[in-house]
Protein backbone atom coordinates (compact mmCIF):
# COMPACT_ATOMS: atom_id res chain seq x y z
CA UNK A 1 0.00 0.00 0.00
CA UNK A 2 0.93 3.67 -0.19
CA UNK A 3 1.99 6.02 2.59
CA UNK A 4 0.25 6.33 5.93
CA UNK A 5 -1.70 9.58 6.18
CA UNK A 6 -2.09 11.25 9.54
CA UNK A 7 -4.79 13.71 10.52
CA UNK A 8 -2.02 16.30 10.96
CA UNK A 9 -1.06 15.89 7.27
CA UNK A 10 -4.73 16.28 6.32
CA UNK A 11 -4.99 19.50 8.34
CA UNK A 12 -1.86 20.93 6.71
CA UNK A 13 -2.82 19.86 3.17
CA UNK A 14 -6.37 21.27 3.21
CA UNK A 15 -5.58 24.11 5.65
CA UNK A 16 -8.25 22.99 8.09
CA UNK A 17 -9.21 24.61 11.37
CA UNK A 18 -8.61 22.39 14.41
CA UNK A 19 -11.36 22.79 17.04
CA UNK A 20 -9.67 20.22 19.34
CA UNK A 21 -5.99 21.25 19.45
CA UNK A 22 -5.42 19.17 22.58
CA UNK A 23 -5.73 15.91 20.61
CA UNK A 24 -2.54 14.46 19.07
CA UNK A 25 -3.41 14.48 15.35
CA UNK A 26 -0.05 13.08 14.27
CA UNK A 27 -0.73 9.66 15.79
CA UNK A 28 -4.20 9.20 14.24
CA UNK A 29 -3.93 7.49 10.86
CA UNK A 30 -6.41 7.52 7.96
CA UNK A 31 -6.58 4.10 6.32
CA UNK A 32 -9.43 4.53 3.84
CA UNK A 33 -9.43 6.92 0.84
CA UNK A 34 -13.21 7.37 0.80
CA UNK A 35 -15.29 9.68 3.02
CA UNK A 36 -18.63 9.26 4.78
CA UNK A 37 -21.40 11.79 5.35
CA UNK A 38 -23.06 10.45 8.54
CA UNK A 39 -26.62 11.56 7.87
CA UNK A 40 -28.04 8.08 8.50
CA UNK A 41 -25.93 7.67 11.63
CA UNK A 42 -27.22 10.96 13.03
CA UNK A 43 -30.71 9.56 12.45
CA UNK A 44 -29.79 6.49 14.50
CA UNK A 45 -29.00 3.95 11.75
CA UNK A 46 -25.57 2.44 12.37
CA UNK A 47 -25.80 -0.74 10.28
CA UNK A 48 -23.00 -0.83 7.67
CA UNK A 49 -21.40 2.26 9.22
CA UNK A 50 -18.08 3.12 7.52
CA UNK A 51 -16.36 4.15 10.74
CA UNK A 52 -12.82 4.02 9.27
CA UNK A 53 -13.60 6.92 6.93
CA UNK A 54 -13.32 10.64 7.54
CA UNK A 55 -16.77 11.87 8.61
CA UNK A 56 -17.85 15.02 6.72
CA UNK A 57 -20.78 17.12 7.95
CA UNK A 58 -22.37 19.77 5.75
CA UNK A 59 -25.57 21.85 5.72
CA UNK A 60 -27.87 18.82 5.51
CA UNK A 61 -26.38 17.08 8.55
CA UNK A 62 -26.23 20.32 10.52
CA UNK A 63 -29.84 21.18 9.68
CA UNK A 64 -30.96 17.76 10.90
CA UNK A 65 -29.05 18.18 14.17
CA UNK A 66 -31.01 21.38 14.82
CA UNK A 67 -34.30 19.43 14.70
CA UNK A 68 -33.53 16.82 17.37
CA UNK A 69 -33.85 17.30 21.11
CA UNK A 70 -30.85 17.70 23.42
CA UNK A 71 -31.03 14.22 24.95
CA UNK A 72 -31.26 12.44 21.58
CA UNK A 73 -28.45 14.58 20.18
CA UNK A 74 -26.10 13.65 23.02
CA UNK A 75 -26.88 9.92 22.63
CA UNK A 76 -26.27 10.18 18.87
CA UNK A 77 -22.95 12.00 19.32
CA UNK A 78 -21.91 9.47 21.96
CA UNK A 79 -22.61 6.49 19.72
CA UNK A 80 -21.11 8.09 16.59
CA UNK A 81 -17.83 9.00 18.28
CA UNK A 82 -17.57 5.77 20.26
CA UNK A 83 -16.63 4.10 16.96
CA UNK A 84 -13.37 6.10 17.15
CA UNK A 85 -13.76 7.58 13.67
CA UNK A 86 -10.54 9.21 12.30
CA UNK A 87 -12.03 12.70 12.56
CA UNK A 88 -15.16 14.79 12.21
CA UNK A 89 -14.90 17.48 9.54
CA UNK A 90 -17.38 20.37 9.24
CA UNK A 91 -17.73 22.10 5.85
CA UNK A 92 -19.12 25.53 4.86
CA UNK A 93 -17.75 27.32 7.92
CA UNK A 94 -20.11 25.45 10.25
CA UNK A 95 -18.82 25.30 13.81
CA UNK A 96 -19.46 22.31 16.11
CA UNK A 97 -21.64 22.76 19.17
CA UNK A 98 -20.33 22.28 22.70
CA UNK A 99 -21.72 18.74 22.96
CA UNK A 100 -19.87 17.62 19.83
CA UNK A 101 -16.62 19.09 21.12
CA UNK A 102 -17.15 17.47 24.51
CA UNK A 103 -17.64 13.98 23.05
CA UNK A 104 -14.76 14.46 20.59
CA UNK A 105 -12.43 15.25 23.49
CA UNK A 106 -13.83 12.33 25.50
CA UNK A 107 -13.14 9.80 22.72
CA UNK A 108 -10.00 11.47 21.35
CA UNK A 109 -11.53 12.21 17.94
CA UNK A 110 -10.23 15.38 16.21
CA UNK A 111 -12.92 17.88 15.24
CA UNK A 112 -11.99 19.98 12.21
CA UNK A 113 -13.56 22.65 10.01
CA UNK A 114 -13.22 24.49 6.71
CA UNK A 115 -14.95 27.29 4.81
CA UNK A 116 -15.05 25.16 1.63
CA UNK A 117 -18.35 23.88 0.25
CA UNK A 118 -19.20 20.28 1.05
CA UNK A 119 -19.05 19.20 -2.61
CA UNK A 120 -15.64 20.77 -3.22
CA UNK A 121 -14.29 19.48 0.08
CA UNK A 122 -15.34 15.86 -0.50
CA UNK A 123 -14.01 15.86 -4.07
CA UNK A 124 -10.63 17.30 -3.05
CA UNK A 125 -10.41 15.03 -0.01
CA UNK A 126 -11.09 11.87 -2.03
CA UNK A 127 -8.66 12.93 -4.78
CA UNK A 128 -5.84 13.62 -2.31
CA UNK A 129 -6.43 10.50 -0.22
CA UNK A 130 -6.62 8.29 -3.32
CA UNK A 131 -3.15 9.45 -4.32
CA UNK A 132 -1.65 9.23 -0.82
CA UNK A 133 -3.16 5.84 0.01
CA UNK A 134 -2.83 4.30 -3.46
CA UNK A 135 -1.07 0.93 -3.82
CA UNK A 136 2.57 1.60 -4.69
CA UNK A 137 5.51 -0.35 -6.11
CA UNK A 138 9.08 0.67 -6.96
CA UNK A 139 10.66 -0.45 -10.23
CA UNK A 140 14.04 0.02 -11.89
CA UNK A 141 13.60 2.43 -14.78
CA UNK A 142 13.43 6.02 -16.01
CA UNK A 143 10.27 8.13 -16.34
CA UNK A 144 10.18 11.08 -18.74
CA UNK A 145 7.41 13.43 -19.85
CA UNK A 146 7.65 13.43 -23.67
CA UNK A 147 5.20 15.80 -25.37
CA UNK A 148 2.82 15.31 -22.44
CA UNK A 149 2.99 11.51 -22.61
CA UNK A 150 4.49 9.72 -19.62
CA UNK A 151 7.11 7.33 -21.05
CA UNK A 152 8.56 4.72 -18.69
CA UNK A 153 11.88 3.38 -20.02
CA UNK A 154 12.94 0.01 -18.59
CA UNK A 155 15.71 -2.47 -19.32
CA UNK A 156 18.79 -4.12 -17.89
CA UNK A 157 21.26 -2.05 -15.92
CA UNK A 158 23.75 -0.24 -18.19
CA UNK A 159 21.70 -0.59 -21.38
CA UNK A 160 21.34 3.19 -21.85
CA UNK A 161 18.16 4.29 -20.07
CA UNK A 162 19.75 7.27 -18.34
CA UNK A 163 21.61 8.36 -21.47
CA UNK A 164 18.33 8.29 -23.43
CA UNK A 165 16.66 10.33 -20.67
CA UNK A 166 19.47 12.92 -20.72
CA UNK A 167 19.18 13.29 -24.50
CA UNK A 168 15.40 13.72 -24.15
CA UNK A 169 15.93 16.43 -21.52
CA UNK A 170 18.36 18.22 -23.86
CA UNK A 171 15.65 18.07 -26.55
CA UNK A 172 13.20 19.93 -24.27
CA UNK A 173 11.38 17.11 -22.47
CA UNK A 174 11.10 16.70 -18.70
CA UNK A 175 12.66 14.19 -16.34
CA UNK A 176 10.46 12.72 -13.61
CA UNK A 177 12.71 10.01 -12.19
CA UNK A 178 15.92 8.17 -12.97
CA UNK A 179 16.93 4.72 -11.70
CA UNK A 180 13.96 4.15 -9.37
CA UNK A 181 10.35 4.99 -10.23
CA UNK A 182 7.60 4.77 -7.61
CA UNK A 183 4.35 3.76 -9.32
CA UNK A 184 1.00 4.44 -7.68
CA UNK A 185 -2.36 3.11 -8.82
CA UNK A 186 -4.64 6.12 -8.35
CA UNK A 187 -7.57 4.63 -10.31
CA UNK A 188 -8.49 1.59 -12.37
CA UNK A 189 -7.17 3.40 -15.46
CA UNK A 190 -4.36 5.58 -14.16
CA UNK A 191 -0.86 4.87 -12.91
CA UNK A 192 1.22 7.80 -11.64
CA UNK A 193 5.01 7.76 -11.36
CA UNK A 194 7.16 9.79 -9.00
CA UNK A 195 10.79 9.87 -7.88
CA UNK A 196 11.95 8.94 -4.37
CA UNK A 197 12.78 12.15 -2.50
CA UNK A 198 16.43 11.19 -2.14
CA UNK A 199 17.07 10.83 -5.92
CA UNK A 200 14.64 13.46 -7.25
CA UNK A 201 16.05 15.42 -10.24
CA UNK A 202 19.31 13.42 -10.32
CA UNK A 203 20.62 11.23 -13.17
CA UNK A 204 23.46 8.73 -12.87
CA UNK A 205 25.74 8.55 -15.91
CA UNK A 206 28.35 5.81 -15.89
CA UNK A 207 31.81 7.28 -16.30
CA UNK A 208 30.70 10.76 -15.21
CA UNK A 209 28.71 10.18 -12.02
CA UNK A 210 25.68 11.97 -10.62
CA UNK A 211 24.36 15.09 -12.34
CA UNK A 212 21.64 17.45 -11.10
CA UNK A 213 19.27 17.91 -14.05
CA UNK A 214 17.38 20.78 -12.41
CA UNK A 215 20.61 22.70 -11.69
CA UNK A 216 22.08 22.09 -15.16
CA UNK A 217 19.02 22.58 -17.37
CA UNK A 218 16.60 24.59 -15.22
CA UNK A 219 13.23 24.02 -13.59
CA UNK A 220 11.52 23.46 -16.95
CA UNK A 221 13.54 20.25 -17.40
CA UNK A 222 12.03 18.38 -14.44
CA UNK A 223 8.62 17.34 -13.19
CA UNK A 224 7.50 15.82 -9.88
CA UNK A 225 4.74 13.47 -11.03
CA UNK A 226 3.51 12.05 -14.34
CA UNK A 227 0.92 9.54 -15.44
CA UNK A 228 2.43 6.47 -17.12
CA UNK A 229 1.00 6.22 -20.64
CA UNK A 230 3.63 4.15 -22.45
CA UNK A 231 6.41 1.71 -21.57
CA UNK A 232 9.57 1.31 -23.66
CA UNK A 233 11.56 -1.84 -22.84
CA UNK A 234 15.17 -1.60 -24.00
CA UNK A 235 17.00 -4.84 -24.75
CA UNK A 236 20.17 -5.86 -26.55
CA UNK A 237 19.69 -6.51 -30.26
CA UNK A 238 19.25 -10.22 -31.01
CA UNK A 239 20.08 -10.98 -34.65
CA UNK A 240 17.41 -13.56 -35.43
CA UNK A 241 14.66 -12.36 -33.08
CA UNK A 242 11.36 -11.47 -34.76
CA UNK A 243 10.68 -7.86 -33.73
CA UNK A 244 7.34 -6.17 -34.44
CA UNK A 245 7.72 -4.16 -37.66
CA UNK A 246 4.12 -3.09 -38.26
CA UNK A 247 2.50 -2.40 -34.88
CA UNK A 248 -1.00 -3.48 -35.90
CA UNK A 249 -1.68 -4.82 -32.42
CA UNK A 250 -0.52 -3.25 -29.19
CA UNK A 251 1.36 -5.27 -26.59
CA UNK A 252 0.82 -4.55 -22.90
CA UNK A 253 2.62 -4.80 -19.59
CA UNK A 254 0.79 -4.88 -16.26
CA UNK A 255 1.58 -2.90 -13.11
CA UNK A 256 -0.66 -3.16 -10.04
CA UNK A 257 -3.40 -4.69 -12.18
CA UNK A 258 -3.41 -1.86 -14.76
CA UNK A 259 -2.32 -2.54 -18.35
CA UNK A 260 -0.02 -0.11 -20.17
CA UNK A 261 0.99 -0.20 -23.85
CA UNK A 262 4.52 -1.57 -24.12
CA UNK A 263 7.06 -1.55 -26.97
CA UNK A 264 10.22 -3.68 -26.97
CA UNK A 265 13.03 -1.59 -28.47
CA UNK A 266 16.21 -3.40 -29.57
CA UNK A 267 19.39 -1.46 -28.82
CA UNK A 268 22.40 -1.49 -31.14
CA UNK A 269 25.14 1.03 -32.02
CA UNK A 270 23.91 3.85 -34.24
CA UNK A 271 20.28 3.86 -33.09
CA UNK A 272 19.21 7.25 -31.70
CA UNK A 273 17.11 6.15 -28.72
CA UNK A 274 15.86 9.64 -27.88
CA UNK A 275 14.36 10.21 -31.33
CA UNK A 276 12.80 6.73 -31.32
CA UNK A 277 11.25 7.35 -27.88
CA UNK A 278 9.94 10.73 -29.07
CA UNK A 279 8.40 9.10 -32.13
CA UNK A 280 6.85 6.33 -30.04
CA UNK A 281 5.27 8.92 -27.73
CA UNK A 282 3.81 10.95 -30.61
CA UNK A 283 2.60 7.79 -32.35
CA UNK A 284 0.91 6.65 -29.13
CA UNK A 285 -0.86 9.99 -28.80
CA UNK A 286 -1.94 9.77 -32.44
CA UNK A 287 -3.44 6.32 -31.79
CA UNK A 288 -5.33 7.67 -28.77
CA UNK A 289 -6.75 10.34 -31.09
CA UNK A 290 -8.02 7.67 -33.47
CA UNK A 291 -5.34 7.40 -36.17
CA UNK A 292 -3.24 4.25 -36.52
CA UNK A 293 -0.52 4.44 -39.19
CA UNK A 294 -0.10 0.66 -39.31
CA UNK A 295 -3.83 0.19 -39.85
CA UNK A 296 -3.79 2.85 -42.57
CA UNK A 297 -0.98 1.00 -44.38
CA UNK A 298 -2.85 -2.28 -44.03
CA UNK A 299 -6.01 -0.68 -45.49
CA UNK A 300 -4.03 0.67 -48.45
CA UNK A 301 -2.52 -2.75 -49.15
CA UNK A 302 -5.93 -4.41 -48.97
CA UNK A 303 -7.42 -1.79 -51.29
CA UNK A 304 -4.54 -2.25 -53.74
CA UNK A 305 -5.04 -6.02 -53.75
CA UNK A 306 -8.78 -5.61 -54.23
CA UNK A 307 -8.18 -3.21 -57.13
CA UNK A 308 -6.09 -5.79 -58.97
CA UNK A 309 -8.74 -8.52 -58.69
Q: Looking at the annotation, which residues are catalytic? A: 140, 161, 179, 245
Q: Is 158 annotated as a binding residue?
A: yes
Q: Is 68 annotated as a binding residue?
A: no
Q: Is 23 annotated as a binding residue?
A: no
Q: Is 212 annotated as a binding residue?
A: no
Q: Is 155 annotated as a binding residue?
A: yes
Q: Is 161 annotated as a binding residue?
A: yes
Residue 235 has φ and ψ, to the nearest 5°, of -145, 155
Q: Is 204 annotated as a binding residue?
A: yes
Would you list which residues are annotated within the binding site for ATP?
155-162
Would you list which residues are annotated within the binding site?
155-162, 204
Would you list which residues are annotated within the binding site for Mg(2+)?
162, 204
Amino acid sequence: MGENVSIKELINELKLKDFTPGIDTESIIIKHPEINRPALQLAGFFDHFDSERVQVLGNVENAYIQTIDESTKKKTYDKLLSYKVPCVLYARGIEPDEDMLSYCLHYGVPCLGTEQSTTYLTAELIRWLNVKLAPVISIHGVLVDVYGEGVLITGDSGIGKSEAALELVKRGHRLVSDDVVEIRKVSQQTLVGTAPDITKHFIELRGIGIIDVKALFGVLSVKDTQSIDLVIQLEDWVQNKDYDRLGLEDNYIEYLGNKVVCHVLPVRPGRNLAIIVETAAVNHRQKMMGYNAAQELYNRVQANIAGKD
